[in-house]
Structure 1
Amino acid sequence: MVSPTSHEAKSTGIRERLGELCYNTGLLNPLQKMRAWWQKDLRILAYHRVMPVPDPERYPFDMELISTSPEEFREQMLLVKERYRPMRLTDVAAAINAGQALPPDAVVITFDDGYDDNYRIVYPILKELGVPATFFISTGHIDSGRPYAYDWLVHMILLTNANRLELPELNMDEPMPATRAERRALAIRVLGNMKEISALTQAAMIRRLETAWNMPSDHAYPADCRPMNWDQLREMRAAGLEIGSHGVNHWMLSKLPREELEREVYDSRNALLRELGPMALLMSYPVGSNRAFDREVIEVTRDAGFDLACSYISGTNLQPASNRYSLYRIAVERYYGKAWFAALLALPGLIGYPTPAHLAYTDTSCSH
């Protein structure tokens, strides 16, 4: 079941009101041109899933991974094509390597995880409009077809018959809420708390719940949580789209011992080269916040031969060469209307919401 509107209601803040004012009065175009004259930064848009936005009361997976609807995504890509300079991430790397400046209003489209709606819905739209994009995939899920662990955890919390949520790993022990909305809020809290523990402990906790609640992910391949397969990715790459690494298991790389960190980076690289052939190597750190990568992660990524890496820290890149292994991105959320999206892209520093740890990792020592 799909909600009546393509994006959910969200309290209107001053940034959104300002963006809509600029859009409705026709100011965005001249403001964008003025900004491009004095600030030639790289915008990288970050998406996860594109699908008809479902009814939260019926949809049994993580709503927060839905970036936008198919109709709105097509509108967004038309705007990018008409008003900006859409680029391949490998072209950004080539410009950095050559010491060349990027063109004004450069925009890169990226997707994380590798859900199959990226093939079914996103790929035809990009192909129709001729807009390039990079898809960062967790290769272990592409290999197995299993649902993504964080999304499966949300699924279990939403549907379990357990009376209590007992997570000693997170010092949480509380009654299981009765309503779907309360369970969604609880799942978001659990995911947030998990970012403070090791990736291997996270994985063990999820496996323990699968056993305790008799909800094993290795026997379930639900259509609503399905990754792409290698044949689909080969077709997309043949059409000119780029495929990059999002690790093997979607583990937070900074939360891994060095040996496991290297295995995640190198094994994902080897899977890409094995299945898709020689290519420029591009990385997006799973989760991608300042807690999900650090200087050791950057070092391993660089040493494995990756040309660029994206974080999930909010912002644009004024000098991409200075943070080529921690590029900032602008997340696209499902509640963005047309005006808000247009304003966010035209005036990201004014309309966007900055990440507090914006300058946590500027890897000036990591240039090729």
Structure 2
Amino acid sequence: MSPPARSEIRPGMRGRLGELCYRSGLLRLLQHARGWLCRDLRVLAYHRVLPLAEPDRFDFDLELVSASLDGFRRQMQLLQRRFRPLQLTQVLAMLDAGERLPANTVVVTFDDGYDDNYRYVFPVLRELGIPATFFVCTGHIDSGRPYAYDWLVHMILCTQAGELAIPELGLAQAMPTDRPARRRLAQQALDRLKALDGTDQAAVIARLEAAWNLPREVSHPDCRPMSWAQLREMHAAGFEIGSHGVHHRMLAKLPQHELEAELRGSRAALERELGASATLMSYPVGGDAAFDERVVRATREAGYRAACSYICGTNFARTADRYALYRLPVEREMDAGWFAAMLTMPGLMSYPTVSRIS
């Protein structure tokens, strides 16, 4: 859950360029050429799909909304017509066998486990026959509690408090009265929060919950995880369910025993509830500050076969690190042309990931 930083090129410019290439037919020619010359693996990263009539009134993190329902359907129809969607385990089997990936191979993934994945995404994928992997936080599936980072955004958007004071983040200011300014402040707080270690992150959020009387124990329909019954239905329909940790904690920020508990506990829960081996992982947040060599080693030792990062890029079979697979984040602003252009020219049309290692 860590949308990539925007580059200096405005989304409107990317969108117009993508739409121009798409409508002119140039993308199809480029796609055919690239498909045979560059057999790299493209992994799409989604979070939420929601039909928001009034996005500005949404009380949670808009950066996590990857597409509208109509937009998502058009994207999947494009994959169905012009690309080769495969399961991640199918790709791994081909790589293990030394086989060349089919031209235009694409893997669809979702992070976190919001219930809109079941309500809106699952029916579209099942109807169109598009495989996908859903990485879920098992502790949230167990409890039904909202996700902590998203709850921080929600609290800043909805609190009646007159100021925001978080000394650990260097924030002390009057609370803005307009919604756009609050969203910007919430994103600033969230970005700074992720620089803290895991214990301090949890303490900051818990303190604000208590001070503002906005406890996460109160379930909210707009920030609700899937249930095990829903996941079992999706798994029975052929969709892959992988781990996103237990409590959506940045693994590199945890001491060793908590890191191992996140990896092993989530895998055990998936296998217990779904009755199948769980060997796929997506690192929570997933940028270069969220996992490191220690996390990769622990992931491998916990029995996972592959893990996805949230670092933007594609993967070449011979050099791909299966425990740090790059992905292409899908953004809410993307129309059909931009989406198609990103898949065809990912280096130009996707958002670059900003390094957070310091």
* TM-score normalised by the chain length of structure 1: 0.92
Question: Which residue number in structure 1 is paired with residue 3 of structure 2?
Answer: none
Deviations 1:257-280 (A, max 9, x none): 111111111101111011011224
CA contact (8 A) 1:42 1:320 kept: no
Shift of 1:289: 0.5
- Give, as a single letter, the amino acid of the residue that structure 2 aligns with 1:71: D
Q: Distance in 1 between matches of 2:245 and 2:114?
A: 14
- Give, as a single letter, the amino acid of the residue that structure 2 aligns with 1:352: S
Q: Distance in 1 between matches of 2:246 and 2:45?
A: 19
Question: Which residue number in structure 2 is paired with residue 153 of structure 1?
Answer: 152
What pairs with 1:105-254 in structure 2 (closer than 5 Å)? Answer: 105-218=104-217, 220-254=218-252
Q: Matched residue of 1:224: which SS?
A: coil
CA contact (8 A) 2:46 2:330 kept: yes
Question: Which residue number in structure 1 is paired with residue 291 of structure 2?
Answer: 293
Cα separation, partners in 2 of 1:334 and 1:131, compared to 1, 3 Å: same
Q: Distance in 2 between matches of 1:34 and 1:322?
A: 22
CA contact (8 A) 2:113 2:135 kept: yes
Question: Which residue number in structure 2 is paired with residue 98 of structure 1?
Answer: 97
Shift of 1:296: 0.5
What pairs with 1:19-98 in structure 2 (closer than 5 Å)? Answer: 19-98=18-97
Deviations 1:112-159 (A, max 9, x none): 000001001000000001100000000000000001111111111011
CA contact (8 A) 2:198 2:253 kept: yes
Question: Which residue number in structure 2 is paired with residue 3 of structure 1?
Answer: none
Question: Which residue number in structure 1 is paired with residue 265 of structure 2?
Answer: 267
- Give, as a single letter, the amino acid of the residue that structure 2 aligns with 1:215: L
Q: Distance in 1 between matches of 2:52 and 2:294?
A: 38
Q: Matched residue of 2:320: which SS?
A: helix
CA contact (8 A) 1:19 1:339 kept: yes
Deviations 1:184-208 (A, max 9, x none): 1000000110121101210111011
Shift of 1:30: 1.0
- Give, as a single letter, the amino acid of the residue that structure 1 aligns with 2:271: L
Cα separation, partners in 2 of 1:300 and 1:235, compared to 1, 3 Å: same
Deviations 1:7-43 (A, max 9, x none): xxx9455443332221121111111000111110000
- Give, as a single letter, the amino acid of the residue that structure 1 aligns with 2:201: Q
- Give, as a single letter, the amino acid of the residue that structure 1 aligns with 2:275: G
Question: Which residue number in structure 2 is paired with residue 256 of structure 1?
Answer: 254
- Unmatched runs of 5 consecutive residues or more in structure 1: 1-9, 361-368
Shift of 1:320: 6.4
- Give, as a single letter, the amino acid of the residue that structure 1 aligns with 2:194: K
How high is the sequence identity, in percent, across the aligned residues?
A: 58
Shift of 1:171: 2.0
Q: Matched residue of 1:42: which SS?
A: strand
CA contact (8 A) 1:78 1:129 kept: yes
CA contact (8 A) 1:123 1:236 kept: yes
Please provide the CA RMSD for this pair.
1.6
Q: Distance in 1 between matches of 2:11 and 2:213?
A: 41
Shift of 1:321: 5.7
What pairs with 1:259-338 in structure 2 (closer than 5 Å)? Answer: 259-319=257-317, 322-338=320-336
Q: Matched residue of 1:292: which SS?
A: coil
* TM-score normalised by the chain length of structure 2: 0.94
Q: Matched residue of 1:354: which SS?
A: coil
Cα separation, partners in 2 of 1:183 and 1:320, compared to 1, 3 Å: farther
Q: Distance in 1 between matches of 2:309 and 2:11?
A: 27
CA contact (8 A) 1:142 1:228 kept: yes
- Give, as a single letter, the amino acid of the residue that structure 1 aligns with 2:114: Y
Q: Matched residue of 2:189: which SS?
A: helix
CA contact (8 A) 2:196 2:253 kept: yes
Greater shift, 63-72 or 48-57, is seen at 48-57
- Give, as a single letter, the amino acid of the residue that structure 2 aligns with 1:185: R
CA contact (8 A) 1:44 1:108 kept: yes
Deviations 1:278-304 (A, max 9, x none): 224100000001111001010011111
Aligned residues: 349
Deviations 1:314-357 (A, max 9, x none): 01101266310000000001110111111111111222232255
- Give, as a single letter, the amino acid of the residue that structure 2 aligns with 1:97: D
- Give, as a single letter, the amino acid of the residue that structure 2 aligns with 1:231: A
Q: Distance in 1 between matches of 2:46 and 2:318?
A: 20
